[in-house]
């Protein structure tokens, strides 16, 4: 198009185009892509993973909004599977808006600058470079799998302070691992009635070298596709 510019990804448009030096958005990105070789839409999901986009990003695939994300400092993923055109080129379009808002992290806009005449009007001491700041990956993974993992130390057995400032020790640590499974069930090919469904999870904890097994547990998923596995770790290595 007549008013479009090519920019490198990852990168900031402010640094690549002099005429966009003070432009905070919104801006539109577009490019075409094809599904990964060997992608199986029955057993797999095709995911776009964005390392970082500053600040708000809406993702469109073949003219349909596939998802959106706000926040420049964490990666996010968009499931492209329902929007793909099999065997043909797919059009990826992003709307990226880096304009400052009081509700952003860090907040900006209307709060006054650090120094008179400073642009943009922020209370933080760096320039809010805008754009697709880190790599974008097209990934395939099983259609159903782990979506969240949480570790909680429930308590220490035999906790004590070591002499001569050597830190602390304990006989055992009680650790609870929370697991959440997401995605879609994938029916097997050939009209099979069985479903590729995850019904339980097994957690194995290894030592720091990844060699010796310290603890193992297993639990069934509840109706919300979550499970909690309790582990008893002998002689844990404590942080302090």
Beta bridge mates, 28: 95
Q: Is the pLDDT of residue 71 over 60?
A: yes
Beta bridge mates, 141: 45
Give pLDDT tens digits for 158-199. Answer: 777 767 666 777 888 888 999 998 877 655 444 333 345 778
Tell me what the pLDDT averaged over the chain comes to. 84
**pTM beyond 0.85, yes or no:** no
Q: How far apart are CA 161 and CA 152, in angstroms?
A: 22
Q: How far apart are CA 42 and CA 229, in angstroms?
A: 30
Give pLDDT tens digits for 192-225. Answer: 333 457 788 899 988 888 888 989 999 999 999 8
Determine the pLDDT at residue 190: 40
Q: How far apart are CA 112 and CA 110, in angstroms?
A: 6
């Amino acid at each position: 198009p007549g008013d479009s510019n090519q920019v490198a990804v990852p990168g900031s448009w402010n640094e690549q185009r002099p005429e966009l030096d003070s432009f905070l958005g919104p801006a539109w990105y577009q490019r075409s892509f094809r599904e990964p070789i060997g992608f199986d839409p029955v057993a797999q999901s095709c995911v776009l993973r964005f390392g970082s986009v500053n600040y708000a990003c809406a993702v469109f695939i073949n003219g349909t909004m596939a998802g959106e994300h706000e926040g420049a400092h964490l990666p996010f993923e968009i499931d492209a599977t329902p929007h793909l055109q099999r065997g043909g080129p797919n059009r990826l379009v992003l709307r990226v808006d880096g304009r400052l808002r009081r509700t952003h992290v860090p907040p900006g806009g209307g709060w006054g600058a650090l120094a008179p005449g400073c642009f943009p009007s922020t209370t933080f001491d760096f320039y809010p470079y805008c754009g697709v700041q880190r790599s974008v990956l097209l990934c395939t993974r099983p259609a159903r799998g782990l979506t969240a993992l949480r570790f909680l130390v429930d308590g220490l057995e035999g906790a004590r302070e070591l002499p001569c400032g050597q830190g602390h020790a304990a006989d055992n640590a009680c650790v609870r691992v929370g697991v959440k499974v997401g995605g879609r069930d994938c029916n097997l090919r050939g009209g099979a009635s069985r479903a590729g469904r995850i019904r339980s999870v097994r957690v194995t904890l290894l030592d720091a070298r990844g060699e010796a097994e310290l603890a193992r547990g297993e639990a069934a998923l509840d109706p919300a596709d979550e499970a909690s596995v309790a582990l008893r770790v002998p002689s844990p290595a404590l942080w302090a």
